[in-house]
Amino acid sequence: MRTFTCAACGQTLYFENSQCTRCGRAVVFLPDRRLLSVVDLEGPPPSATLVAVGVGGADRYRPCGNQIDHQACNWAVAARDDQRFCLSCRMNVLIPNLAEPGAKDAWLRLERGKRRLLYTLMDLGLPLDERQPDRDGGLRFSFKSDEPGADKVLTGHSDGLITINVVEADGTARERTREALGEPYRTVLGHFRHESGHYFWSRLVDGSSRAGEFRDLFGDPGADYALASKRHYEQGPPTDWPARFVSAYASMHPWEDWAETWAHYLHMIDTLETAASFGIAVRARPVEGAPGPNVVVPRVDSDDFQGLVTAWVSLTLALNSLNRSMGLPDPYPFVLPEPAVWKLRFVHAVVADARRRWR
């Protein structure tokens, strides 16, 4: 994600900010411009017109309905738009019951992950086909909680609907699950990225000219999923999975291999863009011999996939080393085998195809 700054005072802003922490000016995210902008208010809050500062052109917006009702959204709605909710919020089919204790905090944590996913998808030029009032289709979200006497809510994807179990917003519970499943990495944002992979497999790969290449790299998507899942949870991943897959879970079925690889690609793209926004360049300094060349993070829409991978490996080595110096776990607990790199290259090509088609 790019770096945002306050147009009034130059302070660096986080994507989730609704106010500058230095000068106190109100800020909102403008999805039509993919910009976090300082705004002046015309009229009384909470439904004041928002006038974006320094963006030029049509510059008037409204607060999202979820900001007005719950102080829960920093995305804006263009004044010319007849929708009450922002692009992100109107993709929700179900949100937690906000009357329940802790539900609002959990919802906000889920929304932060969802909005970061949407930012990356929009930045890559991928089709969202937002849900329309008179039809299904497009990418949608449902945040559901386990209920006594009912089946456990499974995080997953079905026909464009991504369902996230609200318990995933509880860091303690999520960490217990991560340890129980032996996973090196489990985050809310990771769930959104993984499940979006299933949606984009159906949108961009299934039935496309690249379906054969997918089969060659990932395997037969028609393989019995229930049987593969049963085998995975009863027997575990194959012993050689680190030599072939980006994660143990990816070894379960070609669909999960794709979704894990897709999520990994989005991890790469978003982190590399953040690094590029800060002007980060990494130089490897081996114990012996001459230091390696500076590795400057390339643009995320670069056709040079190898350049992206080279920058990614260098950056993650630096990130892991910094964390270890602080006594913290590796932020990137993965090793990329060559077959996984080829799968990432395939994802990169699929995204490039989609960007050319929809932009």
pLDDT tens digit sequence for 110-121: 999 999 999 999
Pair 192, 342: CB distance under 8 Å = no
143 closest CA partner among 117, 162, 126, 170? 162
Question: Could you tell me if residue 298 is inside a domain?
Answer: yes
CA distance 219 to 204: 17
Kindly state whether residues 123 and 77 are assigned to the same domain: no
Query: DSSP label at 335?
Result: -
pLDDT at 358: 72
Residue type, position 208, single letter: S
pLDDT at 279: 83
Question: Helix 103-123 to helix 254-277 angle, to the nearest 10 degrees?
Answer: 80
Pair 273, 2: CB distance under 8 Å = yes
Kindly state whether residues 139 and 221 are assigned to the same domain: no
Residue 350, domain extent = 206-359
Question: Could you tell me if residue 14 is inside a domain?
Answer: yes
Q: What are the tens digits of pLDDT across the range 31-90? A: 999 999 999 988 888 778 999 987 766 689 999 999 999 999 999 999 999 999 999 999
Beta strands 27-30; 35-42: pairing state: antiparallel
Kindly state whether residues 50 and 106 are assigned to the same domain: no
Kindly state whether residues 214 and 350 are assigned to the same domain: yes
Kindly state whether residues 73 and 93 are assigned to the same domain: no
CA torsion angle for 180, 185, 189, 191 (degrees, to 10)? -50
Kindly state whether residues 355 and 212 are assigned to the same domain: yes
Three-class secondary structure of residue 268 per DSSP: helix
Q: Is the pTM of this model over 0.75?
A: yes
Kindly state whether residues 221 and 358 are assigned to the same domain: yes
Count how many residues are written for the chain.
359
Kindly state whether residues 261 and 359 are assigned to the same domain: yes
**How many domains, in total, are found in the chain?**
3
Query: DSSP label at 221?
Result: T
Beta strands 140-144; 92-94: pairing state: parallel
* Domain end position, chosen among 152, 174, 196: 196
pLDDT at 127: 85
- Can you read off the two tokens belonging to residue 251? 């070894």
Kindly state whether residues 105 and 220 are assigned to the same domain: no
Pair 74, 61: CB distance under 8 Å = no
Query: DSSP label at 19?
Result: B
114 closest CA partner among 136, 140, 76? 140
Kindly state whether residues 213 and 183 are assigned to the same domain: no
* Domain end position, chosen among 41, 59, 87: 87
Beta carbons within 8 Å of 53's beta carbon, 6+ residues apart: 7, 8, 37, 38, 39, 40
- Which string of DSSP letters, residue by residue, matches 153-215? PPPEEETTEEEEEGGGG-HHHHHHHHHHHT-S---HHHHHHHHHHHHHIIIIITTSTTHHHHH
Residue 46: cis peptide before it, omega within 30 degrees of 0: yes
- Which string of DSSP letters, residue by residue, matches 97-153? -TTSTTHHHHHHHHHHHHHHHHHHHHHTT----PPBTTB--S-EEEEE---TTSPPP
- The burial class, CB within 10 Å (0-12 / 13-18 / 19+), for 255 is buried
Beta carbons within 8 Å of 260's beta carbon, 6+ residues apart: 194, 197, 245, 246, 247, 249, 250
Question: Could you tell me if residue 201 is inside a domain?
Answer: no
Kindly state whether residues 125 and 263 are assigned to the same domain: no
Which residue ranges of the chain lie beneath pLDDT 50? 132-135, 287
Question: Helix 338-358 to helix 305-325 angle, to the nearest 10 degrees?
Answer: 120
Three-class secondary structure of residue 318 per DSSP: helix
- Can you read off the two tokens belonging to residue 139? 């990418």
